[in-house]
Structure 1
């Protein structure tokens, strides 16, 4: 029998792999196969702690499968092997333990192991969601206070709801005690002690509640702590941390970062903290940048294309806090080549094999060198303004009329576009997108409006969808190519004009097409010239 194997790899991205060959019986029916589980450690290093370590040291991985088949593995290494998992659905549980062997995190998922193929699933381990306990113990010299009054409240940092717990505190002689279950998370704890109407002592603490653990606030006041304030604007007392692990985290804000950089482009990122810190460290994708020890870093000039995570780690005494910033480096335009055309073209689309373009109301089919293979006069009422292809039909804008034309060049349907002016059209695989100057409208195939987009939209010359991103050539004097994501958030801008070989013509580009290898745009001034844009990889 060929055995199935489970490989488990851990790092900052914790990975459990069940990998191997299929197990078969003599009948040839596959009964064993492979599973890969990625486990992401979502325990934050900069957060406050109760009186337990919040770093995961080891994991227990367990699973329940078909016919209640189970496995359990404990590991702290980078590799673990589990054999012989049956085909079917498995419920996977991962428990994270700290150095004291206390469970502090949990993650679960379901995975279906199929015959003849490996399966991958992700598990994120997060702090326990069960309630934790908050415990208060306050004491003071009995001879100093004759009429003790306790006022206390707890404010949730997530909901910002403040709960007055004063009436729940138990007073006995010269002590005050309180215990309550709270949901995991961060809270602000406010506590004051009065002698009658006179404020004697008060404090405010930041605290963290962790599932199945106790956060204790213990205050043992002495005579020196109970000095009365000199006036109503000054305060007397002591500030005591609940535990050393419950000091406030250092709040860090990063400024100046760009979500996208071009090759050799730089950015300067500055860290701002809410308190003076002892040191700064910067990491790029987890690697320490040894020479970067200031609150400001300039980065980007030597980075290749890809996705990056920049992390700033600050330290004050024993408190470590970190903040991260994600960005990408994109390949820029490496050059623009001129193509001389046999005939003038306003714009083209690419159907996967051939280019299709138009001039006035005539549709042309071109080969890869833009030689005319076919031409079809569509006898439209007006000249063509834009064209797109949905895989089966042409959609052609002729001023305010939208025509659906099949592959035999017959008009299937026509619609009146409810816009004052139209200039570009694109197909995203499901819907039509029609542009007018700085407005883009999304329509279904019956021209029912779905959404409108105006924020950050440039003056549009032409647009096209490629790999779930919208690319827009603008109508400015110095043409630029914009990249937008699927929610039409602007991602990056490429300068086209600076790369055009002949700088004589401004506002010189018309149309935009992606042919699977390069973008191509056309000269507005020289009607028999096209520009092929090199270097961009959507």
Structure 2
């Protein structure tokens, strides 16, 4: 029994090593005045979700290259307490609008750049959606559900088109999603790992998060680099990925 367990562990380690990659921090974007909880790229600018506990307030903000805020709008989010407040976590952009995941409601919101709500919907086949990642692939939305580890493909009206199981990933993803034009990147908060997968769920690479201790909150792709934000941190990490 012990011998079999050792073999299984060694095989698992070998599998992970076979697709491990390295990530270099090429630059950071910081703003010490805010706590970040989400990040996206609209083709020109970085957008973030900011969190404030007293009074409780969530905003979506557009940043300058130096991290200063160009503009922002408040998004309505309620929570029972500060410790477990996941609120308005992950965001993505289709180039003209911002899509945001409300963890507490299980609802996806579409906002224009002024904060006007354009649409809102859940995932039709999921009774209680816990959205922990969202990405735009140029045509469709993809949403990562915390409970079942599925990626749900939706059109802009919320129609469910497909779902991909990510339960076989090691470690299993639980926070953050990005699309680089070919592959998805999914984050694992506690393990501090980011895994590259195909749209079918096949693993193609994996990197360690840029900040020690874990706590990955959201991911984005700016056309060249992977952007990483940690929970209620004040820094965006830009990563160059190497095989």
Q: In the alignment, what sits opposite 2:181?
A: 516
Greater helix share, 1 or 2?
A: 2
Cross-structure match for 2:198: 534
* CA spacing shift, 1:385–1:339, aligned 2, 3 Å: farther
Q: Which of the numbers 31, 35, 47 marks the counterpart of 1:378?
A: 31
Q: Distance in 2 between matches of 1:462 and 1:526?
A: 16
Q: 3-state DSSP class of the match of 1:510?
A: coil
Q: CA contact under 8 A between 1:339 and 1:530: conserved in structure 2? A: no
Structure possessing the higher radius of gyration over alpha carbons: 1
Spell out the pairing of 1:77-92 with structure 2 (5 A cutoff).
none
User: In the TM superposition, what are the counterparts of 1:28-67 in structure 2 within 5 Å?
Assistant: none
* Residues 460, 473 of structure 1: 8 Å contact kept: yes
Deviations 1:149-176 (CA, angstroms, capped at 9, x unpaired): xxxxxxxxxxxxxxxxxxxxxxxxxxxx
Question: 1:426 is matched with which residue?
Answer: 92
Q: Of 469, 473, 493, which residue of structure 1 is paired with 2:140? A: 469
- Write the distance in 1 (CA, Å) between the matches of 2:122 and 2:199: 29
CA contact (8 A) 2:123 2:160 kept: no
The structure with the greater share of residues assigned to strand is 1
Paired residues of 1:392 and 1:406 also in contact (CA < 8 A): no
Q: Is the 8 A contact 2:137 2:181 kept in 1?
A: no
* 1:494 pairs with 2:152: no
Which residue does the alignment assign to 2:152? 482
| TM superposition outliers: structure 1 runs of 4+ over 6 Å | none
Shift of the 535–429 alpha-carbon distance from structure 1 to 2, 3 Å rule, reads: closer
Q: Is the 8 A contact 1:339 1:532 kept in 2?
A: no
Given that 1:444 and 1:450 are in contact with CA atoms closer than 8 Å, whether structure 2 keeps it comes out as yes
Q: CA deviation at 1:535?
A: 5.2
Name the SS for the 2:70 alignment partner: strand
TM-score when scaled to structure 2?
0.62
Per the alignment, do residues 536 and 409 of structure 1 end up closer, same or farther by CA in structure 2, a change over 3 Å counting?
A: same
Paired position in structure 2 for 1:435: 101
Asked whether the equivalents of residues 142 and 153 of structure 2 are also in contact (C-alpha less than 8 Å), the reply is yes
The 8 Å contact of residues 392 and 407 in structure 1, kept in 2 or not, is answered as no
Kindly state the Cα deviation for residue 534 of structure 1 after the two structures are TM-superposed.
2.8
1:411 equivalent in alignment to 2:66 = no
Q: 3-state SS of the aligned residue for 1:423?
A: strand
In structure 2, the residue corresponding to 1:509 is in which secondary structure? coil
Q: Tell me: CA distance 1:535–1:426, structure 2 relative to 1, closer, same or farther (3 Å).
A: closer
- Residue 370 of structure 1: CA displacement? 2.2
Counterpart-to-counterpart distance in 1, 2:142 and 2:199: 15
Aligned to 1:390: 42
CA distance in 2, matches of 1:443, 1:533: 28
Matches within 5 A, 1:259-274: none
Give how far 1:455 is off: 5.1
Change (3 A) 1:414 1:522: same
Question: Structure 1 pair 390/495, CA: closer, same or farther in 2 (3 Å)?
Answer: same
Per the alignment, in what secondary structure is the counterpart of residue 157 of structure 2? coil
In the aligned structure 2, how far is the partner of 1:402 from the partner of 1:467? 21
Tell me how far apart the structure 1 counterparts of residues 32 and 165 of structure 2 sit (CA, whole Å): 38
Unaligned runs of 5+ in 2: 1-14, 52-57, 79-86, 202-243
Q: TM-score scaled by structure 1?
A: 0.29
